[in-house]
Amino acid sequence: MFDLKGKTALVTGGSRGIGRAICEALAAQGAHVVVNYVRGEDNARAVVSAIEAAGGTAEIAGFDVSNMGVAEEHVSAVAKRLGKLDILVANAGIAQDGLLLRLKEADIDQTLAVNVKGALGCAKAAVKSMMRSKGGRIIFVSSVVAEMGNAGQTVYAASKAALLGITKSLAREYASRSITVNAIAPGFIETDMTNALPEAARTELCRAIPLGRIGAAAEIAAAAVYLASEEAAYVTGQTLRVNGGMYV
Ligand code: NAP
């Protein structure tokens, strides 16, 4: 089950956290993985080394998804170089938290540029390649806050909710081309993004999670492997919530 041998995959923001776990999990199932990053080249190289040490294949591709044109060009170049792109995981994301009254327009623009326009640019190029190869998988990494909301995360939540609308629309747009489009909505997951939380906030957070703990990046990666697989061929336009029951 979930055999990805012969498949090519690109994971944006694959150099750390959830993206890294997704890269390793897709490679473990046999996919050749392209690890995208924006600043962390050493981290991206470390992901490739870990994948190779485990018997898989991978390569790095550094580019900033926040520039839609640049993102499109790079994804197209990856697809051309590899001959096809079977799986896109649009995972790169940033959170610039703050109450609306304190948010600056530049912060809002940057969050939307990375989280929404970046995902759209990558998806646009991926769709072009997937239409040529008559099928593919697009997976957007959204968030539990897209559906729940969270004080202090208005813009981040908006960007992640946008991905759910994009998922449903693209699923309808490209179903006839055998391209499935789904989203994963993680709850709170142990990564650099959440490590900054003070211990008291983490304890408080765990009280709001029925399973009583913060999730592991590998638990999100497992969902990505499923959605990328042949076994998920009849699943499109859906949001797979992996959140310990935090939002049901
Ligand atoms: P993270 O540890 O902060 O890692 C972010 C990744 O995105 C890094 O690989 C980073 O690359 C990359 N990135 C950031 N800006 C980029 C850009 N402009 N172009 C290309 N790559 C860029 O984040 P994470 O916690 O793993 O989160 C991954 C995704 O899951 C995000 O979309 C996030 O919103 C979502 N999510 C996370 C949680 C959570 O609890 N952690 C919960 C729900 C949803 P560099 O290493 O080069 O900086």
Residue listed under structure tokens 């694959």? 14
Check residue 112 and give its pLDDT: 98
Which tens digit of pLDDT belongs to each residue from 214-244?
A: 999 999 999 999 999 999 999 999 999 999 9
Distance in Å, CA 95 to ligand 1 centroid: 8
Whether 37 lines ligand 1, by a CB cut-off of 6 Å, is yes
Whether 93 lines ligand 1, by a CB cut-off of 6 Å, is yes
Sequence-ordered list of residues with C-beta below 8 angstroms from that of 129, at least 6 positions apart, any chain: 75, 76, 79, 80, 84, 85, 136
Check residue 200 and give its pLDDT: 85
Whether 133 lines ligand 1, by a CB cut-off of 6 Å, is no
Ligand 1 atom with minimal separation from the 186 CA: 43
Cα 122 to Cα 100: distance, rounded to the nearest angstrom: 29
Model confidence, pTM: 0.98
Q: With a cut of 90, say whether residue 198 has pLDDT above it.
A: no
Distance in Å, CA 46 to ligand 1 centroid: 16
Q: Which residue has better confidence, 52 or 195?
A: 52
Whether 215 lines ligand 1, by a CB cut-off of 6 Å, is no
Check residue 194 and give its pLDDT: 84
Q: With a cut of 90, say whether residue 80 has pLDDT above it.
A: yes
For residue 54 the two structure tokens come to 């485990």
Best residue among 11, 24, 38 to mutate for probing ligand 1's pocket (most ligand atoms within 8 Å of CB) is 38
CA 133 vs CA 65, 130, 175: distances in Å:
24, 5, 14
Check residue 205 and give its pLDDT: 86
Q: With a cut of 90, say whether residue 201 has pLDDT above it.
A: no
Q: Which residue has better confidence, 193 or 5?
A: 5
Please give the positions annotated as active site: 156
Distance in Å, CA 114 to ligand 1 centroid: 10
Whether 141 lines ligand 1, by a CB cut-off of 6 Å, is yes
Check residue 202 and give its pLDDT: 85
Which tens digit of pLDDT belongs to each residue from 122-176?
A: 999 999 999 999 999 999 999 999 999 999 999 999 999 999 999 999 999 999 9
Q: With a cut of 90, say whether residue 193 has pLDDT above it.
A: no
Sequence-ordered list of residues with C-beta below 8 angstroms from that of 183, at least 6 positions apart, any chain: 139, 140, 141, 142, 163, 164, 167, 238, 239, 240
Check residue 199 and give its pLDDT: 86
Which tens digit of pLDDT belongs to each residue from 17-73?
A: 999 999 999 999 999 999 999 999 999 999 999 999 999 999 999 999 999 999 999
3-state helix, strand, coil in the chain (%, to 5): 50, 15, 35
Ligand 1 atom with minimal separation from the 114 CA: 18
Whether 188 lines ligand 1, by a CB cut-off of 6 Å, is yes
